[in-house]
Structure 1
Amino acid sequence: MEIIANDYPVRKHFVDYDTAEVAYRYKKLYAALISDALEGLGYHNQCMSSGIYPLVHTMKVAGPAFTAHGIATPSRDHKVHDIRLGMFKSMTDGVVQIRDTQGDTSCGQFGEISATAAAAAGCVGAVIDGSTRDSNYLIDMGFPTFCRFRNPVEAFGRFMVVDYQIPIYVKGMSGQLQVNPGDYIFGDNDGVVVVPQELTIKVLEIAEQAFADEAQSRQAMATGRDPFEVYQEFGRF
């Protein structure tokens, strides 16, 4: 849904499942299981490239993607504030903000004030294909944030978000990885996986079954059983 108010668009994107319940289930899992489930379905390039990690190793993020497209620019046009207003007004409960940065390294592209505003709008975490600043504040407020590096430099006059809730590209394991609004974002200390929206529940169910099988496999091998026999029985090793 898109409406225009005060010269900035409000784009609401809704999903057909309970975001809190699905996130609760996903957070019991881990990125490798999600990736394996996608591999089994024929999706081989759904992970962001190495180097995208949480500010604290215990942080996890899970939710439908709220995309933001940013560019490097020296512009100091204050219309950027209208864009940000539209962005925050477009957020729905449970979303994960994921920002592209076009490879910019000039500044910190996401910080504590942005996180505070996003959290107030229902956002539950952020994946920045670039940098953060105010990292200690982000950690102290417990806002799950993933990034490639940290940079204390102010973004205004160097970088700005120019659009949101549109398809974006982030760095993937095999080149560009497309992320659409509503795709499911899962991240832990191993990295970030992007699940196509239509596979959100299917991938979850496959990964949950694999998690249960792994638990049985782990328990069986701990008793000294032959690993090959355990694999034959549970299919996980």
Structure 2
Amino acid sequence: MKKLTNRRIYFLAIPIIAIIGALTIAAVQKKSGPPDEPIIAAFKKTYPASVSDAVELVTGKVGTMRYDMKLITGTPIVGRAVTSLVKPAPLEQATPALSTKHSVEMIDNAKPGEVGVIVMEGTLDIAAMGNLMATAAKVRGMAGMVLDGAIRDIWDVRRMGLTVYARSATPRTAVGHYATVARNIPVECAGITVRPGDIVVADEDGVVVVPQERAEEVLKKAQEIDAREKGMFPFIRQFKSLTQAIEKFNRI
């Protein structure tokens, strides 16, 4: 009788365990979002420093934003850019609705994994976004935000876990001073042209922009650089000579 009861409990437990497992998998999938497109996944495995070198080697141009574009909150990110441009405006045009109109539309229409790029033309003393826009970006599943301007509400943005790169921080609002003029257009962000669809690769070193039409070439070159450097570390440890490693691998 005891064996029969145990078997009955066992067979009853199987569907319950299966249901719990299915719910767990669904929750994980929902949290992680849709899978990355292959090239984004590949760039996530490369060092941003190698990507920076690769952009210059492939395009002949600098692809890294100015030194003062810093990681404020969050972690390294890779994703395709969506953009918003914000300019000085008279008081009647810098209303709460108009001061952030295109930035808000950019976020509300963003796809999971995209990187929002907001340019505040001519100032580092006005906040491009705060915790309200950050909340929307987070729930939309955006990879993060890059601000050529300032951020505010840092404590709350950090708490929610959104990655933000910015050139400054200030509590000052854009309302009454600035208004957005367009979204998803080419913008000049911290010295680099960013177009919708370009790939943003960023970590604590800084922010690199990969032109979308050269992305495959840049990726291949960055992977070659990574592979060469990985071979240098054991060589340096073995021979205790950086000079010999540079001569052998032609890399520093």
TM range (shorter): 0.7 to 0.9
Aligned match of 1:69: 85
Q: In structure 2, how many angstroms separate the alpha carbons of the residues matched to 1:221 and 1:79?
A: 58
Instruction: Tell me which residue corresponds to 1:60.
Output: 76
The CA distance in 1 between the partners of 2:152 and 2:114, in whole Å, is 21
More helix by share: 2
Q: Name the CA distance, whole Å, in 2 between partners of 1:32 and 1:82.
A: 34
Give 2:143's aligned amino acid: V
In structure 2, the residue matched to 1:212 is 227
TM-score (norm. length: structure 2): 0.76
Matched, 1:236 2:236: no
Give the equivalent residue in structure 1 for 2:130.
Answer: 111
- Whichever residue aligns with residue 43 of structure 1, its letter is G
Unaligned runs of 5+ in 1: 1-17
**Gap change, CA 1:85 and 1:143, over 3 Å in 2:** closer
Runs of 4+ in 1 over 6 A off after TM superposition: none
Q: Distance in 1 between matches of 2:105 and 2:42?
A: 30
Matched, 1:169 2:195: no
Q: Residue 50 and residue 208 in structure 1: after superposition, are their counterparts in 2 closer, same or farther (change >3 A)?
A: same
* Contact preservation (8 Å) 1:19, 1:93: no
Query: Cα–Cα, structure 1 residues 118 and 212, in superposed 2: closer, same or farther, change >3 Å?
Result: same
Contact 2:200 2:208 in 1 (8 A): yes
* 1:53-202 equivalences in 2 (<5 Å): 53-56=70-73, 59-73=75-89, 74=91, 75-77=93-95, 79-80=97-98, 83-84=102-103, 86-172=105-191, 177-202=192-217
Q: Percent identity?
A: 27
Contact between 2:150 and 2:168, CA under 8 Å: does it hold in 1?
yes
Instruction: Report if the CA contact (8 A) 1:65-1:184 is conserved.
Output: yes
1:227 aligned residue: 242
- Paired with 1:82 and 1:33, the residues of 2 have a C-alpha distance of 36
Report the alpha carbon displacement of residue 54 of structure 1 after superposing the two structures with TM.
Answer: 0.4
Aligned partner of 2:171: which letter? P
Corresponding letter in the other structure for 1:30: Y
**TM-score, with structure 1 as normaliser:** 0.80
Which residue pairs with 2:19 in the alignment?
none
- Counterpart residue number, 1:45: 62
Which amino acid is the alignment partner of residue 229 of structure 2? E
TM-superposed CA distance for 1:23, in Å, is 3.7
Cα displacement (A) at 1:108 = 1.5
Task: Quote how far apart the aligned CAs of 1:43 are.
Answer: 2.7
Give me the whole-angstrom Cα distance separating, in 1, the residues matched to 2:179 and 2:140: 20
CA–CA distance in structure 1, aligned partners of residues 195 and 104 of structure 2: 21
Give the alignment's Cα RMSD to 1 decimal. Answer: 2.3
Return the offset for 1:178: 1.7
Matched, 1:35 2:55: no
Contact 1:20–1:94 at 8 Å: present in 2 too?
Answer: no
CA distance in 2, matches of 1:72, 1:98: 18
Alpha-carbon contact 2:194-2:209 (below 8 Å) kept: yes
Q: 1:203 to 1:119 in 2, by over 3 A?
A: same
2-structure distance, mates of 1:20, 1:116:
25
Preserved contact between residue 126 and residue 149 of structure 2 (Cα < 8 Å):
no
More moved, 73-82 vs 189-198 = 73-82
Structure with larger Rg: 2
> 1:85 Cα shift?
5.2
Take 2:82 and 2:101, find their aligned partners in 1: how far apart are those partners?
17
Q: State how far apart, in whole Å, the 1-side matches of 2:167 and 2:72 are.
A: 10
Structure 1, residues 39-83: CA drift from partner, whole Å, max 9, x if none? 211432222112000014x72121111011111223344542654
How far off is 1:20 after superposition?
5.2
State the partner residue of 2:42. 25
